[in-house]
């Protein structure tokens, strides 16, 4: 039996997942750690934590499974996207990594658009300049830490620092690289025009590879640290969202991955490099060769329900909270909820956006409010689907849902009705780490391509089909929902000014 390992270095833990050649999970281990917020809006992390977590987690899955390390034929890497890791000429870390959720770079985003032009930036990269991306972080270091900037020899993403520690190679995959704002969408490689405009030396950037390509092999030093066999192949892998899409089988046009966690992510594969002209969706290469993807992100999805439960029904189990809402008719008797509790990203990149209940009357009960929260999140997710259709994405035939919110049958039905599409669950629940392991399997030759790997390992376990009557109700309610943000945008701005006084 041959085995594969997927390594996922997230913001809070590094996970190692061991699967066999049939795609069955053999062992899982995770090593947790913290990140720092040394100033308001800042978010940083010591890259050494990822390496320590990788070593500990690999050793644990090998010990728990009892397999011969020589039977591991490939390792795939994934992890948090957009983080900035700077190395000097000796390969030493120059400063803590600036993470994806760091918000210090607003002025650098403006500077990028001023140098390149927003429309030209979106045309080249598929994306607008956002504070989460890597490129504005590089400019921030140049402007605020010139002594650090002067010593840069290599720029890596978080999972690629782990790759460097495992193999000694400077390499990245094209999906994760897309999240730097430095990649030309059409060519799937670094954009000479953007790199030059931002004053970045090309030799600082690692070589790019497809997610299924072998980028190097495990070094003797890393073998001694992890317990794996020296020479074990490493593949490109992918950023967490692209690898997660592979993990649920969203690798073909028409199949969309919907992650219903604290935030909500809509991920759709595309056979060509398409983008939303205003940059309201992310457009990156996929982790599979010859594929791209569009991605929409709403900031408070299941997070909205958690806030609602903790604030208005503290201590109540989610099942007990949701059960009465099932008796409320679709549309919550005219009550709408805006899920912008932490600002929003898609379709409104507005940190000042706020949440709201609209349409409250004395006949509305708590179950009405509960259902309205579920429906408001579903409407917010539908915004991404609408933008994808406008961008030219082919018709969606199936939505593969995952995340904590997907455990609710009521919420799955509401989503199916609001989206007007079949919603399915799948047998794989380890997300990005599982996708990284499948990518490693393709690189190792266990499957001829990613599509085959997904077909042979990812199975549909449940299906929720839309109710035509509810679809009609939600079509009308969604039209009203879309009017709320434009109507309230000025109010949100005034409320924000009041908060700061």
Residues acting as catalytic residues: 240
Q: What values do phi and psi take at 434, rounded to 5?
A: -65, -45
Which two structure tokens, joined as six digits, stand for 284? 């990156």
Burial 108-119 (b: 16+ CB within 10 A, else e): bbebbbeebebe
CA–CA distance, 186 with 274 (Å, rounded to integer): 9
**Cα–Cα distances in angstroms (integers) from residue 67 to residues 53, 71, 226, in the given order:** 20, 7, 14
What is the four-CA torsion angle of 126, 130, 131, 137, rounded to 10 degrees?
A: 40
Pairing of strands 398-402, 255-260: parallel
Name residues whose C-beta falls within 8 Å of residue 68's C-beta, 6 or more positions apart in sequence. Answer: none
What is the four-CA torsion angle of 423, 293, 159, 169, rounded to 10 degrees?
A: 140
CA–CA distance, 327 with 310 (Å, rounded to integer): 22
Going 189 to 201 to 282 to 176, the CA torsion angle's sign is: positive
Name residues whose C-beta falls within 8 Å of residue 121's C-beta, 6 or more positions apart in sequence. Answer: 112, 113, 127, 128, 129, 181, 194, 279
CB 92 within 8 A of CB 39: no
CA–CA distance, 167 with 359 (Å, rounded to integer): 58
What is the four-CA torsion angle of 438, 135, 101, 379, rounded to 10 degrees?
A: -70
Name residues whose C-beta falls within 8 Å of residue 127's C-beta, 6 or more positions apart in sequence. Answer: 121, 133, 178, 181, 275, 279, 282, 283, 284
Which two structure tokens, joined as six digits, stand for 276? 């939303």
CB 54 within 8 A of CB 7: yes
């Amino acid at each position: 039996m041959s085995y594969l390992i997927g390594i996922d270095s997230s913001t809070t833990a590094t996970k190692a997942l061991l699967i066999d050649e049939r795609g069955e999970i053999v062992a899982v281990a995770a090593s947790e750690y913290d990140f720092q917020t040394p100033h308001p809006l800042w978010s940083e992390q010591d890259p050494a934590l990822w390496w320590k977590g990788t070593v500990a987690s690999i050793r644990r899955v090998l010990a728990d499974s009892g397999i011969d390390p020589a039977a591991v034929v490939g390792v795939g890497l994934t992890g948090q996207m957009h983080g900035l890791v700077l190395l000097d000429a000796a390969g030493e870390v120059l400063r803590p990594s600036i993470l994806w959720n760091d918000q210090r770079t607003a002025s650098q985003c403006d500077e990028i658009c001023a140098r390149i032009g927003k429309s030209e930036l979106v045309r080249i990269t598929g994306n607008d300049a956002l504070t989460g991306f890597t490129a504005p972080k590089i400019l921030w270091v140049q402007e605020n830490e010139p002594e650090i900037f002067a010593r840069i020899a290599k720029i890596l993403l978080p999972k690629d620092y782990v790759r460097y520690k495992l193999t000694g190679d400077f390499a990245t995959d094209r999906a994760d690289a897309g999240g730097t704002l430095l990649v030309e969408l059409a060519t799937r490689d670094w954009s000479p025009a953007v790199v030059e405009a931002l004053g970045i030396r090309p030799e600082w950037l690692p070589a790019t590879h497809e997610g299924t390509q072998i980028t190097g092999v495990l070094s003797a030093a890393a073998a001694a640290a992890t317990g794996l066999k020296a020479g074990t192949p490493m593949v490109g892998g992918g950023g967490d969202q692209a690898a997660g899409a592979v993990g649920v089988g969203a690798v073909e046009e028409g199949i969309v991955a919907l992650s219903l966690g604290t935030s909500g992510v809509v991920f759709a594969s595309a056979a060509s490099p398409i983008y939303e002209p205003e940059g309201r969706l992310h457009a990156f290469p996929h982790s599979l060769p010859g594929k791209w993807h569009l991605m929409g992100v709403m900031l408070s999805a299941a997070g909205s329900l958690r806030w609602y439960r903790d604030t208005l029904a503290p201590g109540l189990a989610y099942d007990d909270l949701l059960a009465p809402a099932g008796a409320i008719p679709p549309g919550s008797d005219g009550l709408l909820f805006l899920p912008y509790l932490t600002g929003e990203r898609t379709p409104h990149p507005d940190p000042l956006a706020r949440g709201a209940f609209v349409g409250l009357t004395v006949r509305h009960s708590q179950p009405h409010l509960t259902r309205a929260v579920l429906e408001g999140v579903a409407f917010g997710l539908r915004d991404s689907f609408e933008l994808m259709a406008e961008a030219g994405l082919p018709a969606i035939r199936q939505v593969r849902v995952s995340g904590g919110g997907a455990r609710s049958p009521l919420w799955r039905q509401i989503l199916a009705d609001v989206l007007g599409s079949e919603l399915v669950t799948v047998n794989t629940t380890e997300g990005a780490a599982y996708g990284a392991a499948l990518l490693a399997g393709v690189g190792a030759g266990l499957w001829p391509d990613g599509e085959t790997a997904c077909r042979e390992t990812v199975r549909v376990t449940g299906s929720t089909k839309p109710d035509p009557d509810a679809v009609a109700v939600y079509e009308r309610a969604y039209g009203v929902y879309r009017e709320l943000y434009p109507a309230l945008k000025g109010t949100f701005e005034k409320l924000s000014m009041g908060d700061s006084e």
